[in-house]
Amino acid sequence: MVVTICAQKVTGIEAKRSYRGIVRQWGEPAPAAEGVPGAPRLHLLPDPTVLARQPSWAFHPLGLERKRAEALLRMAAAAGRLEAAADLADRVAARRLLRAVPGVGVWTSAEVALVALGDADAVSVGDYHLPNVASWHLAGEPRGTDERMLELLEPFRPHRGRVLRLLQLAGGAPRYGPRMPLSQLEER
């Protein structure tokens, strides 16, 4: 969930930078990397209790504004309860359990369910790119909506999430308009 909360409403570059900062700031060195000359500096994800003790403003230098930082703190405080989601056979109930944490909505719970819980049918409604990807590859339409994406994915139930990931690997939808240079994104 840490990775997914970092990725809420930001670009992938910004999300990776925030996640890397959290791991380096509060994570412990990976056991295999300790004392090995020339080994990469690998770190483990911090324990939820370590994250839960941090003030929300401590995440700001890492690129997480207050809203995502507070969602991360609430998730860390509820980590023991959220672990139960992995044991639920009913994946809809598991996603509902994840959404019980304020700041964790439909998109976040679906992303976590797909990756961490193995829910092959989890669809990330509310994603910026996925409706366009699904509409382009399944209907030849360059732009789509969440409703259109769900309509096009319906024949693939109970594997809609897997199909979406495969479509992403096939490439994105056509892009229109100017794009911000990567150097400006890194400065933000």
Q: Please list the pLDDT of the chain residue by residue as tens digits (188 residues).
A: 999 999 999 988 999 999 999 999 999 988 876 666 776 778 899 999 999 999 999 999 999 999 999 999 999 999 998 888 888 888 889 999 999 999 999 999 999 999 999 999 999 999 989 999 999 999 999 999 999 999 999 999 999 999 999 999 999 888 887 666 655 555 54
pLDDT in the model for residue 160? 96
| Residue 34: per-residue pLDDT | 63
Supply the pLDDT for residue 172.
85
Domain boundary assignment for the chain: 2-30+42-116, 130-170
105/63 Cα distance (integer angstroms): 20
Q: Which CATH number fits domain 2-30+42-116: 3.40.50.720, 1.10.340.30, 1.10.3720.10, 3.40.50.300?
A: 1.10.340.30
pTM of the model: 0.83
Residue 37's contacts (CB-CB under 8 Å, 6 or more residues apart) are none
User: What is the pLDDT at residue 183?
Assistant: 53
Residues 20/43, Cβ–Cβ less than 8 Å:
no
Strands (E), 30-150: none
Per-residue confidence (pLDDT) for residue 33, from 0 to 100? 60
What b/e string do you get for 145-159 counting C-beta neighbours within 10 Å, with b at 16 or more? ebebbbebbeebeee
d(CA 43, CA 31): 9
